[in-house]
Structure 1
Amino acid sequence: MKLYKGLVAAIVEALQEIFVKHRQADRIVEQLLKSNKKWGARDRAFIAENTYEIVRWWRLVKYAAEVEKASYSEDLWRIAGVWMIIKTHHIHGENFEILPEWPEFEGINADSVEERYQEGLLIRKIAQSLPDWLDDLGESELGSQWSEQLVALNRPAPIVLRVNTLKSSADEVKGILGAENLMEVAQNSNALILKKRQNMHNNDAFKQGFFEIQDAGSQMIAPYLDINPGMSIIDACAGAGGKSLHIAALLQNSGSVLSMDIDDPKLGELKKRALRNGVTNLETMHIESEEIITTLSETADRLLLDVPCSGLGVLKRNPDTKWKLKPDFLTNIRNVQWNILSTYSGMVKKGGKMVYATCSILPSESEEQVKKFMKSRRKDWKFISEYRTSVSEVGFDGFYMALLERKK
């Protein structure tokens, strides 16, 4: 593996932004890849892949590099060099070639790196690269399942497409992209996995709205609402609207979809996506106060509450989340979840249904919130079912969903 200094320097720059300036990894990588028009596709792939993998294995690589706190440029260069040793030997299975004789790599000894790496693999929180407090929390909530979930969450996420049935079909998308380049997802004919990672946002079929990029676990949530054409549906934590678009497709552009969120710019992005998808039954509403929720009392046949959460179920695609999370955030977000569930549920008509969903693997954000709700609202609500996608079993993101019915 030949290293080019300009590309490694770009990785170091990204790490500085992510870990020293505490910026989001996906935004940094996106901005960085646009900064140099001379980089080709392979160069960009090298920068993105290695940046994300170092972020994913940050604690293990720091341990192998004998860097306690990476605050300076020289620390980040050392970490990048040590990662190249680990990647070459343990991921690619190749004999390691000596690092280039760059001043930034001076003092890195491959034998010492290997010794420290093997030591780190014996300690779960180092081997799986996460903070002490998060390892303790996961074990306390998931017990023996925590270790296997961690291993699965540290595998890179596949790119999954959701066929937009308003404009296309699975067979048509296969014909355009090549069936040999795609894998089907069991029990979901409209979910297709790309065999080889590539940027699909510039693909003509994507620009025409034939498909969206949406994890297979996420694609299970909209159907869980038990939707029939003609219904009035509210997606109350819509964000940029991936699930709203799926709901509109399931409605076959009949009925209505009201996509709500406290983040108005995200709703603006949803409007653009809806236009591309050929969605005509969707409106957006900015939640400026809880009075808006009151005005919509008993108006929805179906309500989706895909609530804000820790994001621990989607670490495969957002590995920097585990370094940005703090214990106080989890306490606060559980309070937010409860407020949304207990307040927004009033928008469901009597006889209507609601799905409470999270992209967290923690029961305290998911099952326990639903149990608490049912305990306090048993007279008015009926618990129908719940489902959790297993990251370790299926390899997709970790989602929880519960279906509740408001009694007539």
Structure 2
Amino acid sequence: MIKVVKLFPPLIEAVEKALVEIFIENRKADKAIAGILKSNPKWGSRDRGFIAENTYEIVRNWRLVNFLAGRDDVDNQRAGTYREIIGIWLIIKGYDISNSPLFEKIDAESILAKKQEAEKDRKVFYSVPDWMDAYISKEIGENWDKELEALSQQAEVYLRVNTTKISKTELIALLKTKDVEVAEVEGVESALRLVKRMNVFSLEEFRKGFFEVQDAGSQMISVLLDIQPEQRVIDACAGAGGKTLHMANIMNNKGRIIALDVEEHKLVELKSRAKRNGLSNIETRLIESKTIKRLKETADRLLLDVPCSGLGVLKRNPDAKWKLKEEFLTEIQAVQANILENYSKILKHGGKMVYATCSILPSENEKQVEKFLSNNPEYKLVTEKKLSPAKDGFDGFYMALIERE
């Protein structure tokens, strides 16, 4: 069905500016889009939705739209080519651009005909680099076809209820009064799925700390750690603290959580989020030369949500497909092994830890755990869980619960 709508130049220019920032200036997609939306407070929700959705979708389908434009060198882009790329994408989406002076030289029929050709090559149609397709296919085999298709879809938005401030039932009812429809998520007690996309960060309920935005699969990681309220818990790769906040909820804001990270600005953000969430049992510490050594055998529970390739969250971070390099996978796997070997000493004897990634690669997941366990016989695997975008619908995660004797 052809969409006959007026394409306002300022909106097209905003998408173009976002693409330039992402691909020329190397900004992260979410940061680039957020900055552009913030630059014009007069844009309404429909305009903001058009800019954000189309920018993300073009990034997600970057190789495909470049192929349709007659180019397959996605690493060598010029800012001047982006207007054509946007026009091609709008044709794919069913927009009638024939009367728009913005896209005078684009032949819709030839674009749609070439799209049929692209469907024969998964690398082009689902927009992944050759090296990534070969690398992942080698590791996970025929499963890659289904995972690739799932990772090429738009990500669902999941909320996590801040049970320190409000119950799930109360939040559902409160959001309903604001015409925000959510659905419960089977098997994930704290999660709600947003039925209709919207900017939830603008809601008063978010500003009051009643919920956080967090993938349902990610929420399973903190639950797996089997935390008790009065324990001492260490989140050794906390980042901005999404899982730290969830663990504080599980602990009923009791006990103590020490959140560690190598980047101070992330811990500053965590402090701000903890304050909004009404949580007081979180302490932040910057990782310095002797931090890990000083914490030896002090944690009842330890979370190692290690840096990874992010290949399980490509639908949420589609620009990673074009910024990730093959050599990084070797480098990050060495980092993971080092963290697992050294940070695991933080755990008390009799304690439990979770090793987790947002990757679908066995080399970052079960193989890392197998290697660690073979070198450290006092640690035992209790259980492990793999979340598949294709099978489970969430982002791709791996989590292993390990106990120290």
> What TM-score, normalized to structure 1?
0.95
Q: How does 1:54-73 map to 2 (within 5 A)?
A: 54-69=58-73, 71-73=77-79
> Where does residue 138 of structure 1 map in the other structure?
136
State whether residues 157 and 194 of structure 2, in contact with CA within 8 Å, keep that contact through their aligned partners in structure 1.
Answer: yes
1:395 to 386, 389, 393: 393
Deviation at 1:98, TM superposition (A): 4.1
Counterparts of 1:125 and 1:188 in 2: how far apart (Å)?
33
Tell me how far apart the structure 2 counterparts of residues 181 and 309 of structure 1 sit (CA, whole Å).
Answer: 33
Equivalent residue in structure 1 for 2:80, among 62, 74, 82: 74
Q: Residue 209 of structure 2 aligns with which residue?
A: 209
Structure 1: distance between partners of 2:320 and 2:281 = 34
Aligned-residue CA RMSD (Å): 1.3
Q: CA deviation at 1:101?
A: 4.1
SS of alignment partner, residue 189 of structure 2: strand
Distance in 1 (CA, whole Å) between partners of 2:138 and 2:316 is 24
Please show how residues 80-159 of structure 1 align to structure 2 within 5 Å: 80-88=86-94, 97-102=96-101, 104-159=102-157
Note if 1:266 corresponds to 2:266. yes
Equivalent residue, structure 1, for 2:368: 369
Q: Tell me whether 172-181 or 52-61 shows the greater mean CA deviation.
A: 172-181
Aligned partners of 1:303 and 1:355 also within 8 Å:
yes
Selected match of 1:175 from 173, 177, 182: 173
CA contact (8 A) 2:7 2:100 kept: no
Q: C-alpha separation between the residues in 1 aligned to 2:79 and 2:311?
A: 29
Residue in 1 aligned with 2:292? 293
Q: 1:66, CA displacement in angstroms?
A: 1.2
Q: Which amino acid aligns with 1:368?
A: K
Corresponding residue of 1:26: 30
Count of aligned pairs: 397
Q: Answer yes or no: is the 8 Å Cα contact 1:55–1:320 preserved in 2.
A: yes
Contact (CA 8 Å) 2:90, 2:97: kept in 1 or not?
A: no
Counterpart residue identity of residue 65, structure 2: V
Distance 1:188 1:113 in 2: 43
CA distance in 1 between partners of 2:288 and 2:104 (Å): 55
Q: Which runs of 5+ in 1 are unaligned?
A: 89-95
Name the CA distance, whole Å, in 1 between partners of 2:165 and 2:304. Answer: 27
SS of the residue corresponding to residue 41 of structure 2 reads: coil
Give the one of 9, 15, 20 matched to 1:16. 20
Aligned position for 1:240: 240
Question: Counterpart of 1:219 in structure 2: which amino acid?
Answer: Q
What residue is the counterpart of 2:349 in the other structure?
Answer: 350
Task: For residue 40 of structure 1, report the CA deviation from its aligned partner.
Answer: 1.4
CA distance in 2, matches of 1:188, 1:220: 7
1:109-160 Cα offsets, whole Å, 9 max, x none, are: 1111012111111101001100000000110011010010011111111111
Equivalence for 1:93: none
Q: In 2, distance between residues paired with 1:59 and 1:106?
A: 23
Give 1:22 deviation, angstroms: 1.7
Task: For residue 351 of structure 2, give the secondary structure of its aligned residue in structure 1.
Answer: strand
SS in 1 for 2:260: strand
Equivalent residue for 1:91?
none
> Which whole-Å CA distance do the structure 1 matches of 2:375 and 2:71 have between them?
50
Q: Residues 328-385 of structure 1, C-alpha deviation per residue, up to 9 Å, x if partnerless?
A: 111111111111000000000001011000000111111110010011112x111111
SS in 2 for 1:74: helix
- Say whether the 8 Å CA contact 1:81–1:99 is kept in structure 2: no
Q: 1: CA distance between counterparts of 2:90 and 2:77?
A: 20
Moved more, 201-210 or 140-149: 201-210
Match of 1:253 in 2: 253
Distance in 2 between residues matched to 1:255 and 1:189, nearest whole Å: 22
CA offset digits 1:220-260 (Å, max 9, x no partner): 00010111111110000000001001111111111110000
Aligned in 2, Cα 1:316/1:6: closer, same or farther, shift over 3 Å?
same
For residue 26 of structure 1, what is the amino acid of its counterpart?
D
CA–CA separation in structure 2 for the residues paired with 1:190 and 1:344? 28
Q: Which amino acid aligns with 2:88?
A: V
- Give the Cα separation in 2 of the matches to 1:25 and 1:269: 19
Q: Does 1:46 align with 2:50?
A: yes
* Shift in alpha-carbon separation, 1:194–1:101, aligned structure 2, 3 A: closer
> How high is the TM-score relative to the length of structure 2?
0.96
Distance 2:388 2:78 in 1: 39
Equivalent-residue separation in structure 2 for 1:98 and 1:212 (angstroms): 39
Report % sequence identity: 52
1:313 counterpart SS class? coil
Deviation at 1:200, TM superposition (A): 1.3
Paired residues of 1:217 and 1:396 also in contact (CA < 8 A) = yes
Q: CA deviation at 1:71?
A: 2.7
Separation (CA, whole Å) in 1 of partners of 2:323 and 2:199? 26
